[in-house]
């Protein structure tokens, strides 16, 4: 959940496959009803954020989306992220996971995430082994995001879609799964304060939904 919790689990992955073993033990492919049920607003445990999501759900139907969390099984595992193109009207230049809206032709949310990863950065499906879904994540612009965690074999060659993606890069999983790197900020939204996570890495600023989903990944894999 997107709120502080007692940190009782390991702070970082040990690089030996412990993360993948834990993820397989804790994640499933059960699709939460809130992905498509407009009457269910995603819950985060943060009162301000939950209020915002409930207000958004009342104002307009929240749109179903899927993202891929590609964890590359290198000697030191990494997470493949993208920086959105500078000319985009929404979230230009922001750090994101490969992903987007779930289309009617997609067989499942995981299928949508794999399709988007191929379309955005050219990540071949045969390099990707899906592990399971995280919790549903709601955003301030009206998306219900279902993240798919996946193990990715090294050796792939990427082909970026310049219309959507400025660059693709990898961040050590150990950095992203270390709660010391999970900074918390606050902002006013719809008359209430809500929290958000930020994880600055070198010259890149990872925040918002991307950082929030990474925090959920940490909590699901190491704290539950």
Cβ count near 48 (within 10 Å): 18
Residue 5 lies in a domain: no
Is residue 138 within 8 Å of 50, Cβ to Cβ?
Answer: no
pLDDT tens figures, 167-182:
999 999 999 999 999 9
Residue 201 lies in a domain: yes
Residue 154 lies in a domain: yes
Where are the extended beta strands (E) located within the chain?
63-72, 78-84, 95-96, 99-101, 128-133, 137-138, 143-152, 165-172, 183-189, 192-198
Identify the CATH number of the domain in which residue 100 sits. Answer: 3.90.79.10
Residue 133 lies in a domain: yes
Give me the pLDDT at residue 139, please. Answer: 77
Look up the domain containing 43 and give its range.
Answer: 18-223
**100 vs 224: CA distance, rounded Å:** 28
Write out the H or E segment, with its range, that includes residue 174. Answer: helix 173-176
Name the average pLDDT for the chain: 84
Cβ count near 209 (within 10 Å): 25
Residue 7 lies in a domain: no
Give me the pLDDT at residue 2, please. Answer: 42
Give me the pLDDT at residue 66, please. Answer: 96
Position 55 confidence tier, pLDDT thresholds 50, 70, 90: low
Sorted by sequence, the CB contacts under 8 Å of residue 8 that are 6+ apart come out as: 223
């Amino acid at each position: 959940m997107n709120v502080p919790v007692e940190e009782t689990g390991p702070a970082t992955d040990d690089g030996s496959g412990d993360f993948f073993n834990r993820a397989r033990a804790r994640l499933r492919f059960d699709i939460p009803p809130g992905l498509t049920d407009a009457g269910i607003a995603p819950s985060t445990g943060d009162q301000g954020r939950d209020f915002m999501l409930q207000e958004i759900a009342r104002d307009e139907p929240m749109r179903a989306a899927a993202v891929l969390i590609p964890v590359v099984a290198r000697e030191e595992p990494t997470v493949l992220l993208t920086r959105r193109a500078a000319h985009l009207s929404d979230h230009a230049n922001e750090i994101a996971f490969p992903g987007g809206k779930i289309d009617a032709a997609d067989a499942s949310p995981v299928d949508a995430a794999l399709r988007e990863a191929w379309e955005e950065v050219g990540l071949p499906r045969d390099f990707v082994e899906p592990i399971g879904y995280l919790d549903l994540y709601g955003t301030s612009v009206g998306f219900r995001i279902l993240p798919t965690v996946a193990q990715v074999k090294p050796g792939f060659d990427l082909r970026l879609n310049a219309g959507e993606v400025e660059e693709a890069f990898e961040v050590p999983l150990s950095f992203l799964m270390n709660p010391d790197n999970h900074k918390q900020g606050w902002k006013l939204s719809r008359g209430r304060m809500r929290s958000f996570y930020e994880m600055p890495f070198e010259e890149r600023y990872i925040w918002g939904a991307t950082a929030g989903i990474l925090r959920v990944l940490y909590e699901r894999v190491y704290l539950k």
